Every structure is written in structure tokens, then in C-alpha cells.
Amino acid sequence: MRHRYLLLPAMLMLAASTHAEETRFSVTLQNDIFAGSDGGGYTNGIALASMRSASPGETSIAPQWLLAPVTSWFGLGPATLTLSSLNQMMMTPADLTRKIPDPADSPYMGALWYRSAQVSVQDDIADMLAFNLGIIGPASGARQTQTFIHSITGSDKPQGWDYQVHKRTLLGIERYRAIRVTPEGDTADRPGTDFIALGGASLGNWQSSAGVTLMLRYGTGLKQSYPTVMRLAMRSGDPGVIGRGWFAYTGLHADRMFSQMGIGSNQPVQGSTAKLRETQVVGLVGFAYGWGDSALSFSAQNSSSLTTVTGRRKAYGSITYTRLLP
């Protein structure tokens, strides 16, 4: 019996070391004001997230609680990184001064949702599964957020929120896979280069799409920060540095859009005649820097218009700050 009591602490210590992990808090702000534009498609996004990753020297962590029962169904291995976040986003037409929005342009739409994501990395292959649950419509608070931001930045007050997409539940699931190529091999203490190809699909009543992303990175700590690249999917954040390091990156998204809330046949606003642009192309450049306990990353993105009413591309900026929790 005495040996059993001595064995129990050792077993608990072994279990803890198997899933040794670090937890970080991050905040992301995306806004077209950063790019000198205002209105016309995706306008603003805010995300508060808790991110868990393996401690140095470890390869896996405990799975994300919500996704743990189904990750094996989708072919994911042991968890390398998990993300739980509260997100708010909005899209608007190009002309915010119209009290009655152009029915052929993007509608006013706001969303507030919880996102649960898990990433599994095995060698140079990363797999991600994510689930989104929330609300679309006035209860999202998007109107109040945009009005407040525009009041402190001196931008035009949006006039058409009375015509926003009506209240609905937001549901969505995402599955993506990335493959990483390192021409020179991994370099922990000197700058190197890697190339990442990411592809997958999202299915939900907010958006359904399938596409690919090609990214080129140059910097240090590329292998350790590789799981964060999956945050690019569905505009959930910027790729960042885990620990110490830095990298610059450039990339190109190409998506086939099947549906988008409020546009086309996907439950449009009453009187809307907007037609969804089926092919979306987004170019981006960015930089990420980590100094141990904290990290900062930002990007500039330029995307196709959501609707066919205009060929004008949409630009916005994104910034993410991450802090290691004690």
C-alpha cells in the first residue's frame, strides 16, 4: 500500500509533463481605417483570444475541450495549439452616408461569436479544425462598436444600420491543412526561409467557401511559430511569434465563395439585389516580432470586392498583440 502512495505523485507528475503547456492572451484589431479606406465590404474585426501551446521541449498539449470528441473524425493528431476566442466583425456598403443603403452593394451586417480551434502539427504538416457559434444581427453590437470607433476617429457616421441583416444564429465549421517546405532546413538562431501552402474549406450559414493560401516567410523561429499561421483562415488573426524571434511574410489567398450572409441567395436583406462575387483574391504582407513573454504582429491586406456591383478592391490593416500568462 505504501508503494502505491509513492507511485501516485510520480504518475501525476508524468501526466503533467506529457501535456506541459503555455497559455497566452491575445487581442486582434482589424480595420479598414488602417489602410486609409472606410466602408465597402469587410470593415472591422475584433478578437479576444486565449491560446495554449506546447512548452519548449514538448510536442503536444491537452486537446481543446469542445473539439476533443470529434478531432479524430476529421483526421487530426495530438493537439499542438488550441485557441478559444470571442469575436466581433462587421461589413458595410461603400457609402456610409446613405440612410437607405444601395441595395446592390454589400449590406450592413454584424456578428458576435465564440470560436474554438485546434491545430495539430506533425513534421511539416499542420491540420486545423475550428467551430464557430454566435449571433448575427442587432444583438451583435456591431452598430454600437462602429459608431463609437467612427466618433473617436472623426470618420463619417454610418447612417444605414437600420437596414442591417436581421437576427440569426451563426453556425460554422472549418477544416484546413498546411504543408511547410524549408529549402535550407530549420535555423533556430539565424534567419531562414520557408514556404507554406494552406488549403481547406468552411461550411456555415455565415459563409461557405473553399480555397488556398500561399505564403513565404523570412526570419527566425519559423518552426516554433508555424502553428500560428493557421490563424489566417477566416480572418481569425495574424500569424505570430511564439517565444523569441521575428519574421516578415507575404501571401496570396484565393477562395471560391459559395455563399455569404446577406448577399445573393443566402437570406438577403429585404429589397437587396446584391450578387456575390464568387472568386475572391486577397494579397497580404506583414511582420511579426516576439521578445519572449510578448509578441506583436501586423499585416496589410487587399481583397476583392464581396459583390459584383463594383470592381474596386478593399484594403484593411490588422494588428495582434500577444502576452504570455504567468
Grid cell digits, residue 107: 449590406
Q: How far apart are CA 273 and CA 276, in angstroms?
A: 10
What number is the average pLDDT over the span 7-34? 66
Q: Is 250 domain-assigned?
A: yes
pLDDT of residue 311: 63
Yes or no: say if 251 and 283 are a contact pair by the CB < 8 Å rule. Answer: yes
* Residue 299 reports pLDDT greater than 70: yes
Q: Is 1 domain-assigned?
A: no
Q: Say whether pTM exceeds 0.85.
A: yes
* Residue 259 reports pLDDT greater than 70: yes
* Residue 186 reports pLDDT greater than 70: no
Q: Is 278 domain-assigned?
A: yes
**Would you place residue 10 in the very low, low, confident or very high pLDDT band (cuts 50, 70, 90)?**
very low
Q: How far apart are CA 49 and CA 52, in angstroms?
A: 10
* Residue 185 reports pLDDT greater than 90: no
Residue 88 burial (CB count, 10 A):
18
DSSP code at position 275: -
Q: Where are the beta strands (DSSP E) in 64-185?
A: 81-92, 109-122, 125-136, 168-181
For the domain that residue 37 is a member of, what is the CATH number?
2.40.128.140
What number is the average pLDDT over the span 16-26? 76
pLDDT of residue 55: 87
Q: Is 3 domain-assigned?
A: no
In 3D space, the residue among 148, 136, 150 whose CA is nearest the CA of residue 108 turns out to be 136
pLDDT digits (tens, 9 = 90+) for 199-243: 999 999 889 999 999 999 999 989 999 999 988 776 677 899 999
pLDDT of residue 16: 39
Place of cell 487587399: 302
Instruction: Count how many domains the chain has.
Output: 1
Give the chain's count of helices (H) and strands (E).
Answer: 3, 12
What number is the average pLDDT over the span 102-119? 91
Q: Counting every residue, how long is the chain?
A: 326
What number is the average pLDDT over the span 131-147? 94
**11 alpha carbon, distance to own chain's centre:** 37
Provide the residue range defining the domain that includes 90. 22-324
